[in-house]
């Protein structure tokens, strides 16, 4: 692998790779509608893996988009602190360009002032990391759904972002592929040390992957728990199940 | 081959299971199938003419038509007229298509442009362009500009409408992805919007090619002193029915050629799309 792409960083380097996020008094409402986010305060230390769970329409995706700068807050402040403020997002759909080959799609994630040969090399490197190196020259239409999401992940990671946002990226995949991809994302996060924010409605997924879980209810944080279970985490671990149960109780209590 | 040698060394009955020799590469008859019907029609036509079932004054036999074609090719008349017609068609197509493409892109990308021009363009569209022929003759005479104008006008709208539609129907999720991943407007256009609109643009091109031929044929028949249509009209004046039929057949062949070229271009540009891979 090229020196420019050390996928396993040393611990010191790792801890200040990610962005720290400070949110103060954040509010957001759309076009004279009701507030989707209400006076939210949040601090995410660099390199943390945070999962945001909540019912549909609770504002979790909006919070993600606000942090990424895709939406402007109605009031409040968001500050991103870190060596390089690079952020990338992985959407629920792969959103690959159908008319570009897989390697070119991955290269979309790279900044424009990187030379052509270098782009190819880095795209191939990251495709190898997600296990799709042999598909580099194929059209996206020939890939399965899980493979396309892996390409999307590669595209998000190729520029080695300091913040990776994941907006329900695994929702459309079958259960086994989902578990494999969770393990892959966790492995890469551990190696690279970026800050990760995962928005998901699957509490099991949140509990398996994250250091910390935020439950959003009606635009405010209803619950903020740390997941103290050491990695690598086993599915079926009773500690995880207990936490999942607690969170689900909280989520389902106000709906039922 | 190793297998047959091994098999031949087996005793008795086992030998009957010897692998069949590889069949010689068959001529793929399936590719000729589309031509079966036209061929039968021509054969039937020739038979009817030779047997005197149809008077050759009304419908010349295929062989007569071929003979006329040969004759005209010899004098150079055929190729001259062919070239003139082709040049007119191509120029008109490029002009009308170019303007259509420009407005399609402009109105697709800019709300202001669309609000300014779309209504006027729709009004122009609703006037059947062939009905303008008397006016065109009045303005332009029967010179080249007249035909160019008509072809350009006919070709303009299909390309405009389909380009506009293509731009409008580019997946907004892809555009958002492009923006989020740092593409500026220029990159968004060349990497996301234009390739996304391309299938629609090709539809417009195919449709416009049909209209181009139609317009050219009519324009040349009514007001020309060269070209295929002129050749056919002269033949009609002098009752050379075989030349008339020849001209018609050439129009058909040229139309088919244009369509095939477009399909080849489509296959080259749109090979990423599974829907186009097997055409």
Full domain range(s) for residue B234: 67-276
Tens of pLDDT, residue by residue over B69-85, are 888 888 888 888 888 88
With respect to residue B12, please indicate whether it lies within any of the assigned structural domains: no
Q: Give the tokens for residue B24.
A: 């010689």
Assign B5 a pLDDT band (cuts: 50, 70, 90).
Answer: low
Identify which of B192, B227, B243, B190 has the alpha carbon closest to the alpha carbon of residue B91. Answer: B227
3-state secondary structure of B82: helix
Instruction: Supply the CATH number for residue B229's domain.
Output: 1.10.3720.10
What integer pLDDT is reported at residue B21 of this predicted model?
60
With respect to residue B267, please indicate whether it lies within any of the assigned structural domains: yes
What integer pLDDT is reported at residue B279 of this predicted model?
46
Pick from A108, A141, A155: which is nearest to B272 by CB? Answer: A141
With respect to residue B29, please indicate whether it lies within any of the assigned structural domains: no
| B256 compared with A101, residue with greater pLDDT | A101
With respect to residue B148, please indicate whether it lies within any of the assigned structural domains: yes
What are residue A163's DSSP bridge partners? A87, A195
| B160 compared with B26, residue with greater pLDDT | B160
Does the pLDDT of residue B8 top 80, yes or no?
A: no
Q: Give the tokens for residue B259.
A: 């369509």
Instruction: Find the chain B residues whose C-beta atoms sit closer than 8 A to any C-beta of A.
Output: 173-174, 176-178, 180-183, 187, 191-192, 195-196, 198, 270-274
| Among A165-174, B126-135, B182-191, the least confident range | B126-135
Cβ-Cβ contacts under 8 Å, B178 against chain A: 108
Given a contact cutoff of 8 angstroms between Cβ atoms, the answer to whether A160 and A192 are in contact is yes
Does the pLDDT of residue B228 top 80, yes or no?
A: yes
| B9 compared with A246, residue with greater pLDDT | A246
Write the DSSP assignment of chain A as a string of letters: --GGG-SS--HHHHHTTSPEEEEEEEEEESTT--EEEEEEEEEE-TT-EEEEE--TTSSHHHHHHHHHTSS--SEEEEEEESSS--EEEE-SS----TTS-HHHHHHTTS-TTS-HHHHHHHHHHHHHHTT-GGGTTS-GGGS-HHHHHHHHHHHHHTT--SEEEEESTTTTS-HHHHHHHHHHHHHHHHHH--EEEEEES-HHHHHHH-SEEEEEETTEEEEEEE--PPSSPPTT-HHHHHHHHHHHHHHHHTT-
With respect to residue B50, please indicate whether it lies within any of the assigned structural domains: no
- CB proximity list for B5: less than 8 A, separation 6 or greater: none
- A60: closest CA of chain B, how far (Å): 18
| Among B132-136, B161-165, B173-177, the least confident range | B132-136
| B278 compared with A103, residue with greater pLDDT | A103
Cβ-Cβ contacts under 8 Å, B198 against chain A: 99
Q: Say if the Cβ atoms of A70 and B173 lie within 8 Å.
A: no
Q: Which residue of A has its CA nearest to B177?
A: A95
With respect to residue B182, please indicate whether it lies within any of the assigned structural domains: yes
Q: How many domains does chain B have?
A: 1
With respect to residue B117, please indicate whether it lies within any of the assigned structural domains: yes
| B274 compared with B98, residue with greater pLDDT | B98
d(CA B34, CA B106): 40
What integer pLDDT is reported at residue A172 of this predicted model?
86
In order of start, what are the domains of chain A with their CATH numbers? 8-86+162-253 (3.40.50.300), 98-159 (no CATH)
Q: Say if the Cβ atoms of A98 and B192 lie within 8 Å.
A: no
Does the pLDDT of residue B111 top 70, yes or no?
A: yes
With respect to residue B40, please indicate whether it lies within any of the assigned structural domains: no
- Does residue A91 belong to the interface with chain B, where contact is any CB pair within 8 Å? yes
What integer pLDDT is reported at residue A3 of this predicted model?
41
- A34: closest CA of chain B, how far (Å): 25
Assign B25 a pLDDT band (cuts: 50, 70, 90).
Answer: low
Q: Give the tokens for residue B255.
A: 């139309």
What integer pLDDT is reported at residue A50 of this predicted model?
96
- Collect the ranges in chain A with pLDDT lower than 50: 1-13, 256
């Amino acid at each position: 692998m090229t020196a420019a792409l050390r996928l396993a960083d040393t611990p010191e380097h790792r801890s200040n790779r990610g962005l720290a996020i400070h949110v103060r008094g954040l509010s957001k409402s759309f076009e004279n509608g009701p507030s989707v986010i209400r006076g939210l305060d949040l601090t995410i230390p660099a390199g943390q893996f945070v999962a945001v769970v909540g019912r549909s329409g609770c504002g979790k995706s909006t919070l993600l988009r606000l942090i990424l700068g895709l939406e402007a807050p109605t009031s409040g402040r968001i500050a991103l602190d870190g060596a390089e403020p690079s952020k990338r997002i992985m959407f629920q759909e792969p959103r690959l360009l159908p008319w570009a080959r897989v390697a070119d799609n991955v290269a979309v994630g790279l900044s424009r002032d990187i030379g052509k040969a270098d782009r190819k090399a880095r795209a191939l490197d990251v495709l190898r990391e997600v296990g799709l190196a042999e598909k580099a020259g194929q059209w996206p239409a020939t890939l399965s759904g899980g493979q396309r999401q892996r390409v999307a992940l590669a595209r998000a990671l190729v520029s080695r972002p300091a913040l990776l946002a994941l907006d329900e990226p695994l929702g459309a995949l079958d259960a086994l592929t989902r578990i494999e991809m969770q393990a892959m994302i966790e492995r890469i996060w551990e190696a690279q040390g970026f800050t990760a924010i995962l928005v998901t409605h699957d509490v099991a997924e949140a509990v398996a992957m994250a250091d910390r879980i935020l439950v959003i209810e009606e635009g405010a944080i209803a619950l903020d728990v740390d997941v103290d279970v050491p990695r690598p985490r086993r599915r079926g671990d009773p500690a995880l199940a207990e936490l999942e149960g607690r969170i689900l109780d909280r989520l389902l209590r106000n709906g039922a | 081959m190793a297998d047959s040698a091994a098999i031949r060394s087996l005793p008795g009955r086992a030998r009957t299971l010897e692998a069949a020799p590889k069949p010689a590469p068959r001529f793929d008859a399936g590719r000729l199938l589309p031509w079966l019907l036209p061929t039968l029609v021509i054969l039937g036509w020739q038979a009817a003419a030779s047997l005197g079932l149809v008077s050759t004054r009304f419908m010349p036999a295929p062989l007569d038509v071929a003979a006329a074609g040969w004759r005209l090719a010899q004098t150079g008349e055929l190729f001259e007229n062919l070239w003139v017609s082709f040049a007119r068609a191509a120029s008109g197509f490029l002009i009308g298509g170019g303007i259509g493409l420009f407005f399609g892109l402009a109105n697709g990308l800019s709300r202001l442009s669309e609000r300014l021009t779309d209504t006027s363009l729709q009004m122009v569209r609703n006037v059947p362009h062939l009905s303008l022929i008397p006016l065109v003759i009045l303005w332009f005479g029967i010179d080249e500009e007249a035909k160019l104008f008509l072809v350009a006008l006919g070709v303009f709208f299909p390309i405009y409408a389909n380009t506009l539609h293509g731009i409008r129907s580019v997946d907004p999720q892809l555009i958002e992805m492009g923006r989020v991943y740092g593409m500026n407007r220029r990159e968004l256009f060349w990497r996301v919007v234009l390739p996304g609109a391309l299938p629609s643009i090709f539809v417009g091109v195919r449709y416009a090619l049909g209209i181009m031929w139609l317009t050219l044929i009519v324009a040349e028949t009514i007001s020309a002193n060269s070209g295929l249509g002129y050749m056919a009209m002269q033949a009609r004046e002098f009752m050379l029915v075989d030349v008339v039929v020849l001209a018609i057949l050439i129009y058909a062949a040229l139309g088919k050629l244009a369509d095939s070229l477009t399909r080849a271009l489509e296959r080259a540009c749109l090979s990423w799309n599974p829907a186009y891979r097997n055409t």
